[in-house]
Amino acid sequence: MTKLRQLHESGQSIWYDFIRRDMLTGAGLRELVTSGIRGVTSNPSIFEKAIAGSNLYDDHIATLDGSTPAEVFEALAVSDIRVAADILMDVYQTSGGEDGYVSFEVSPALAHDTAGTIADAMRLWTVIDRPNLMIKVPATEAGIPAIEELTAQGLNINATLMFSLDDYEAVAMAYIHGAERASDPSSLASVASFFVSRVDASTDAALELNGTERALALRGRAAIANAKVAYKRYGELFEGVRFEALRAAGARPQRVLWASTSTKNPDYSDVMYIEELIGPNTVNTAPPATIEAFLDHGVVKTDSLLEDTADAVRFIASLPEVGIDFDAITTTLQVEGVAAFADAYFSLLAAIERKQAQIYA
């Protein structure tokens, strides 16, 4: 049994945080699924690297003469998402709709536009036309009501760019309220994508700025502690009385998904955000290098998420004692995350425009 399948036995599904056309036209994704990969996630940065950083899409772009860069991007991405969803369809069916999803994001330009997000998500749901599609919506102030409404309309939602407990709480309640309004809550699937490694990168920088021995001793702990606090809240919301009526109606809990799980600091273990975040009813979406490292030397620490939860709560509460405004850090991280995806999207459109000029010259 592969380590990825061992993780699934422990209650965690591993999704592949990467997509590119050559892994869809060859045996790449099919072999990954055989090894235990149970889903695929994408984002504007991933597509920027795939499309702008290769010539894999040039022939397809050549067939789209007269289209705007945005229309070209959507055509390329929709094609990839559909093929990936078809490859994962067997996982979707055999898991009863628990896994086998492919995530695609609404336009990053709509991160602060509730109505625009809802309209774009509904349109993409119709255009892509796959039951194992998840539409990604950022957990911004404008995104939260969109998540509720889209859930109520029966869409599978991947709520993304969460960094704080407040972000998680808002997303979880949006899913619950949306599921309560849905005509068939049993058909819904959703994940709450909680970002990890960037939390350590920013908190460590603040601790190093403090510079005291006590502050420096706290480095490398904030991200995992923050995740454990969020997972504790997951248990309170979805395994208790609050979700009881929906559970009786056949609704699935919204799983917590650990995102941004590649280790940024080379002094830390390159598999720490997999090993330390294993627990029931969770997802970890990891990039290829992190998955390869885990397969090579990672350890399946069953239920590591459930260990030292009280210590995690105390750790986060203690950060102000060393001058760390953790709320400010996580708020800034979301703002920066939204901006980074928007930058990647517009950079991609510019790259497509340059490719068009070359192809049609």
DSSP conformational letter for 27: S
7 CB neighbour count, 10 Å cutoff: 23
The catalytic residue positions are 136
φ, ψ for residue 338, nearest 5 deg = -60, -45
Q: Which residues contact 8 (CB under 8 A, 6 or more apart)?
A: 14, 36, 38
Nearest by Cα to 144 from 172, 183, 104, 123: 172
SS3 209: helix
Q: Which residues contact 104 (CB under 8 A, 6 or more apart)?
A: 42, 77, 78, 81, 124, 128, 133, 134, 135, 136
Whole-angstrom distance, CA of residue 361 vs CA of residue 358: 5
Strands (E), the chain: 12-17, 39-41, 101-105, 133-138, 157-162, 190-195, 255-259, 282-286
Element containing residue 324 per DSSP (H, E): none
Whole-angstrom distance, CA of residue 255 vs CA of residue 334: 20
CB 288 within 8 A of CB 16: yes
